[in-house]
Chains A and B, each alone.
Chain A
């Protein structure tokens, strides 16, 4: 069973992703911030990471970069409400960029693609 790590600070979305991805047959772990993610990544191995980019000016993109730096060959999906980060070179290291919407179809499709590679 593929293990997915979700980094998301919105409580409702963490719950939603956990349920929806578990229903797709993944083993899902969720954390609320990038620090929690870094901590877990040091101890466990995951097959894929889905992470939000938080508010600019706080820990923002740098923590994503740290996660990117930590991973060896784990695919990363950036899942955020910020369309504009798509062009930010800091996010190029991610394997996919999914802008949040009212539907999970795209996110699920990207996860499936990346795990099938």
Chain B
């Protein structure tokens, strides 16, 4: 038997131990498109709501270089408020956005009293005479502090801010990297901190630390990818520009070196002119590509657009010895998109298909209604097809199989399709040609009354 189960069971809260419910909700939140701060807020909320772990207040410190800085302090103003927050959190199928909105407003409300009190606090993570809260990080241990005012090893500013006798310090450390600390107390209920609460707080601490670690790593990785893409782009542009520049410089130097006969002078100037045009084209293509900003997709009739593109390219097809055929359903419904970019994307695909085709090869453009939701426009060539290694890099900028290609054409098509909620698919087999399929949403989709 094969039986599917949801990650967050609807009846989890009523039957299972609350600790399990708490961990379930905290881990669920990691899969939501929340910001790092929002996710940490979920953890703090879990720690401070009555039915959760049951601390009254939770403060969060994050490391910043070699310092530990106060970030936020979440503390419901009453046990009832804590209870109501946890109820929202434990509702099966809850809208996470609502919880976050709730937490945010809570934090804004509390900003005057709680968060604002710890935000100016910062402690050095290095030095000889470490005091609480840094001690917990130095030892990588959860510290339970009782009779705080009688302890010498507590930072006086910290004690003044927290103003309770009993509190728990949970270090946030992952892969030996000190990331922050959560400090918990029962300022309102005055209940002693229980061993079972310490265990759960520890678990939440591990989750929070791992989460911060992964989130930071992810951000670094995206930064590195961007940098790599930028490096690739500059290298590619340098290459595209240096070749024409070398020719322009060389042929100019020839003319400057001494008298040349009229034929050579003219030839050099023509080469120089041509190479300048090439540079111009490179700049134009780059600018054109960077400029894709389709408007909000609006319904339009695709047929006249397709016919206009086909008509404009017929001369080119004839001049290059390609056959351009089309099969356009004359009852196409309106599709969602931007007609200008639609035409440009289709043009790109057809020109690509010409270039991929053998002399006399046929390029076929079809447009048909696939079902109630989609209209598919496809461009098919009779070229050599693409090996997998080319196919996998189709939409990667600055990678081209053409001598003078910028590697931007297909990425342009993809950006246009993304912007109108459509898709682009490729079917290609070595030796059997390639088909590009653009799928557009019809106007009816999502708007049954339209």
Contacts and interface: CB of A to CB of B under 8 A. Distances in A.
Interface of A: 9-10, 12-13, 15-16, 19-20, 55, 57-58, 80-84, 99-104
B245 A101 contact: yes
B249 A84 contact: no
Contacts of A10: 243, 246-247
21 contacts: A10-B246, A10-B247, A12-B247, A13-B243, A16-B247, A20-B254, A55-B400, A57-B393, A57-B399, A80-B239, A81-B241, A84-B235, A99-B242, A100-B242, A100-B243, A100-B245, A101-B245, A102-B248, A102-B249, A103-B249, A104-B250
A55 B389 CA distance: 15
B253 A104 contact: yes
B238 A16 contact: no
B305 interface: no
Interface in B324-362: none
B399 A100 contact: no
The A interface, classified by DSSP as helix, strand, loop or mixed, is loop
Interface in B226-272: 235, 238-243, 245-254, 271
B128 interface: no
Interface string B257-292: 000000000000001001100000000000000000
B16 interface: no
A102 B241 CA distance: 11
B401 interface: yes
Contacts of B403: 9, 55
Contacts of B239: 55, 80-82
A78 to B, nearest CB: 14
Given A16-B251, A84-B235, A100-B243, 16 more contacts: A9-B403, A12-B247, A12-B275, A15-B271, A16-B250, A20-B250, A20-B254, A55-B239, A55-B400, A80-B239, A81-B238, A81-B243, A100-B242, A102-B248, A102-B250, A103-B253
Interface residues of B, number: 26
B238 to A, nearest CB: 6
A12 to B, nearest CB: 4
A13 B249 CA distance: 10
Contacts of B399: 57
A99 B251 CA distance: 18
Nearest to B399: A57
Contacts of B252: 102
A102 B235 contact: no
Contacts of B242: 81, 99-101
A13 B245 contact: no
Nearest to B264: A19
Contacts of B400: 55
Nearest to A104: B250
- Closest 3 pairs (CB-CB, A-B): A102-B249, A81-B242, A12-B247
Nearest to B267: A15
B247 A13 contact: yes
B254 to A, nearest CB: 7
Interface in B383-403: 389, 393, 399-401, 403
Contacts of A58: 401
A4 to B, nearest CB: 16
A114 B247 CA distance: 24
Contacts of A99: 242
A86 to B, nearest CB: 12
A15 B268 CA distance: 10
A80 B238 CA distance: 11
A12 B253 contact: no
Contacts of A19: 254
A110 B48 CA distance: 74
A66 to B, nearest CB: 20
A50 B218 CA distance: 45
User: Which of A12, A19, A80 has the most B CB atoms < 10 Å from its CB?
Assistant: A12
B235 A82 contact: yes
B250 A13 contact: yes
Contacts of A57: 389, 393, 399, 401
A9 B243 CA distance: 10
Contacts of A9: 403
B249 A12 contact: no
Contacts of B275: 12
A35 to B, nearest CB: 15
